[in-house]
Every structure is written in structure tokens, then in C-alpha cells.
Amino acid sequence: MSNGEKTDMENLPEILTAFEQALELERELGTRTVDCDRALLLPVSIGRARPPDAPLRRVEDAPPYRDDGRARPPDAPSAPANDKPRATSLALPTAEELAACTKCPLATLGRQHVVPGQGNAASPDFMFIGEAPGADEDRQGLAFVGAAGQFLTKMIAAMGYTREQIFIANICKCRPPNNRTPSPQEMEACLPYLRRQIAVIRPKCIVLLGRTAMSGLFPGQRILRGMWYEYEGIPTIATFHPSYIIRFNPLTDAVSLRTAKLEVWNTLKLALAKLGKQPPKK
């Protein structure tokens, strides 16, 4: 074409690669049959279908972390995970302690329950961290129990774990009104509670869910999805928040949905590999 744009035929290898990756992802998640509308595939341009804030990157190529959070050459040895002594003098923040907290405006903006987080607090393999409770979480006082939480449960199960085997928490322990993003000041006020949780729980690996969790745990730093960082000596990696995945319409956003799911799954496999593990065979 004279305008420099690729034709559909020239895009075909890219489309087929994305399709193959999507099928591989579905297979790894246990899917045995896939409905496919041919009309959806024909006009697809991978670049147009992807949301502008979700660039596709090969996370398998991501170099491991080093202490300052920057990329380390691929052949450099990884730091041993979770080799620091457990902080026995600290205690996990309780719901009662958090309910008395008034350190930020979220204390007075209609919270029903504080949400400390829950799960295995005895050095689990993984700690998942999101941004803040939503309506369901606020109602029940539990982290990730709404629709996004159900998708997180599927992610955890695909890794070979139950929710009880890992720990799930948020940067902020109180729900922001109308599910708005917590402000930097609110996250900064609440961060000491999460820092204490991490110090006591000593997870072997931290998985950050979404951009807000990234900026909440690493304020002022540029954190990239699928790259290794280190938080208090603990290997830390970031991926999409489950709510980002479930907002796609499977009928009209099928390619974007599968591309995002694939990136999440590749990041989770990286996290497993960091601990010398693999997803269970289906």
C-alpha cells in the first residue's frame, strides 16, 4: 500500500501468532473448546484492537531485577527469595486497629468495614496486592471478593494454589467513595500497615495488581508490568488488575481480552518460575 499501512495479508502472521498464543492460554487455563466467530477475526488489526494503555510486551524477555529495581543482565544470578529473618517483634494490623485509624480522609468517607486482607500469613509463596476495597469488599470486610476477586481466584487456581495458601491485601485498607482511585496521600498514609504486613508475613514473592498498586508500593518510581523488582528483599512483579481484564466484552473485545489474559498468565508463570515452580498440568 502506498500510505505505508500494512494490508490484512501482511498483518496475517501477527494475527496468527496472537491467535495461537490465545489458544495456548485457554489450554493452560483448562479450556478444551473455544467458540470462534470468523467474522470477528477477518477485520482484526492487533494494534487497533489493543487499548492504548496496554502495550503488548513479551514478558518472557523481561530481565530479572536487581537491588535498585533496574534491569539486570539476563545471565546475572537472581537474589535468593525470602532469605531475611521473619520479623517476630511485629504483629499484623488487626481489623480493630484499622477501624480506629483516622490517618486519612477515607476514615470519614462512608467506609462500612476496614479490609486488612486475608490468607496464609506464614511466609506464603505469593502475596497479591491490589489498590483498595470495592463495594463488595467494604460490605464483607474481605479483600477481592467481588467480580474481580473471582477472576483473581481463577488466576490463583491456574497457578496451582488456593486463596487460603497465599495472602491477598490492598494498598489502602478502606474503600474510596464511588470506587475512585485512592489519592497518593491516602496511599502514603496507609502504606505503613502494608509494610508491616509484608514484614510479618514475609511472602516469597509479591505480585502487584494494577498501576495504582505499583505506584502505591513504589511511590515516585516507574514500575513496568512483567519486570522484576525487589521490595524489602522480596522479588516483586506487577501485572494487570483483574478488574482491567473483566471489563473487556468477550464478544466485541475478544482479541484485546485474550492479549491481556495472556500477558497476565505469562507474568504469573514468571512468578512461579522465580520460585522454581511450574503451573500444574491440566
Which three cell numbers, joined as nine digits, stand for 117? 486482607
CB of 133 to ligand SF4, least distance (A): 9
Specify which residues 168 forms β-bridges with.
118, 128
CB neighbour class for 42 (10 Å; exposed up to 12, middle 13-18, buried from 19):
exposed
Query: What x/- string results for residues 175 through 194 when contact with ligand SF4 is judged by CB under 6 A?
Result: -----------x--xx----
Interaction between residue 174 and ligand SF4 (CB under 6 A): yes
Binding span for ligand SF4 by CB under 6 A among 24-32, 79-87, 166-174, 205-213: 166-174
Interaction between residue 213 and ligand SF4 (CB under 6 A): no
Nearer to ligand SF4 by Cβ, of 131 and 230: the residue is: 131
Interaction between residue 109 and ligand SF4 (CB under 6 A): no
Which three cell numbers, joined as nine digits, stand for 29? 487455563
In Å, what is the CA distance from 11 to each residue of 4, 95, 256, 259? Answer: 13, 54, 16, 16
Instruction: Kindly tell me the sign of the dihedral angle through the C-alpha atoms of 199, 200, 206, 211.
Output: negative
Interaction between residue 196 and ligand SF4 (CB under 6 A): no
Instruction: Kindly tell me the sign of the dihedral angle through the C-alpha atoms of 270, 276, 280, 281.
Output: positive
H helices, E strands: number in the chain: 10, 6
CB of 98 to ligand SF4, least distance (A): 5
Asked whether the beta carbons of 279 and 158 are under 8 A apart, the reply is yes
Nearer to ligand SF4 by Cβ, of 190 and 268: the residue is: 190
Strands (E), the chain: 118-119, 126-130, 167-170, 205-209, 229-231, 234-239
Interaction between residue 103 and ligand SF4 (CB under 6 A): yes
Per CB under 6 A, the list member of 18, 25, 81, 104 interacting with ligand SF4 is 104
Identify the three-state secondary structure at position 134.
Answer: coil
Nearer to ligand SF4 by Cβ, of 173 and 241: the residue is: 173
Interaction between residue 106 and ligand SF4 (CB under 6 A): yes
Size of the site for ligand SF4 (CB under 6 A): 14
Identify the three-state secondary structure at position 196.
Answer: helix
Interaction between residue 101 and ligand SF4 (CB under 6 A): yes
Interaction between residue 71 and ligand SF4 (CB under 6 A): no
Residues that bind ligand SF4 (CB under 6 A): 98, 101-104, 106-107, 114, 172-174, 186, 189-190
